[in-house]
Amino acid sequence: MDYNFNSKPLLRLACSVQTYDWGRPGSDSLVARLYSLNSGGEVELAKSYAEFWMGTHESGPSFLVQSGLENGNGVESGSFKSWVLKNPHVLGDKVLLKWGCDLPFLFKVLSVAKALSIQAHPDKELAKRLHKLQPNIYKDGNHKPEMALAITEFEALCSFISLQELKSVMHNVPEIVELVGSAAASQVLDINKQDGEEKVKSILRSVFTQLMTATKEMTAKAISDLKIRLHDESEVRPLTEKEQLVLRLEKQYPGDIGVISAFFFNYVKLNPGEALYLGANEPHAYISGECVECMATSDNVVRAGLTPKHRDIQTLCAMLSYKLGFPEILKGFPLSPYITRYLPPFDEFEVDCCILPQGASAVLPAVSGPSVFLVTVGEGTMHAASQIDAVTEGDVLFAPANTEISITTSSELQLFRAGVNSRFLQSI
């Protein structure tokens, strides 16, 4: 049946799920719940459900659902990406001109039970090279700036610690000095205020590369020594949060260099409603919790630790920016009494969080780019032109550019909107 979607401004999507090892079991995973409600997919209670993908990336495609058949019970009617290619006007002129006939962002929900790999995402130039050289590992030629918005308390490692903290690590973690050598450790300790930023980055790059390329035997011994030392010291002093985290990571990934490299990164704890954004070539690892994530349409990841997957340590160590200091945490800003916007410094995307109490209503003004909506709590209705859609938890809807939407609720309703960055859309 060839269904005419063009007559409806709001389109329902049936979306994909990823079951990676680090995900939460189906019995305790928001991803599993949303996937089941969205597409009717059967959830295995013991299986690890990690990511719910909403967008056009071929690694986790979305499909159109015939409008009017609600709550994920409609009939899939072709690929969302194919439909966008045939109907490019839905993206808006500015988006088409910059990114062509594709959605420039990929929207996800993550359910994290154990740490993801220590990783970074390449910039566009490196992404193109890696994709050409190893297309089976690096799936596309795009960069992947991203933002994680916490739904629950959310933990992550992100970016390199400050120079002062780095010197403290060299003083207080002898196992790292053991791995990198006393000469390299002394280089860090001897850095002074007169040294320029590039010299500091060069020393950090050298020390971090030596750490990450240590042999398995040296790494295993260093981690064993670390565990014994921390156990002994815990008898006479409380361990720091970072030390406690390192011991947690060791239980998840015994003998992995990523365990000890955690001392080099900022330990970030997000409260629900706080967001962390990551540009190209910034090291990070999500540790636990559930979040909404948005990124440029890419699946490129360069990994170097805390993973059973392919590692590309030399590429990662060469590509990192080596910026030092704590990352910016976004708390969002209010668009209206019920809508908060998170606006990272990337053209491809922004995220709105809309929390409506029972009986409330809100209007989302028309924007000149496409939007994807995800309902995570409650039920209500979405109005666009003459179309009225009942929506409930797990529903995902696509709105073309220049579509004004009003929302009313029959219970408390929480939904997220991913769209192209409004600063880009409003620029001349």
Positions marked active-site: 303
How far is it, in rounded angstroms, from Cα 50 to Cα 277? 19
Report DSSP state, residue 297: S
Contact 253, 303 (CB under 8 A): no
| Beta strands 361-364 and 405-409, pairing class | antiparallel
Q: Say whether 243 sits in a helix, a strand or coil.
A: helix
Contact by Cβ (8 Å): 142, 301: no
Which is it for strands 11-14 and 63-65: parallel, antiparallel or unpaired? antiparallel
Asked whether the beta carbons of 276 and 331 are under 8 A apart, the reply is no
Q: Half-sphere exposure of 370 toward its Cβ, with a 13 Å CA cutoff?
A: 29
307 touches 117 (CB < 8 A): yes
Residue with tokens 């699946």: 299
Whole-angstrom distance, CA of residue 16 vs CA of residue 52:
6
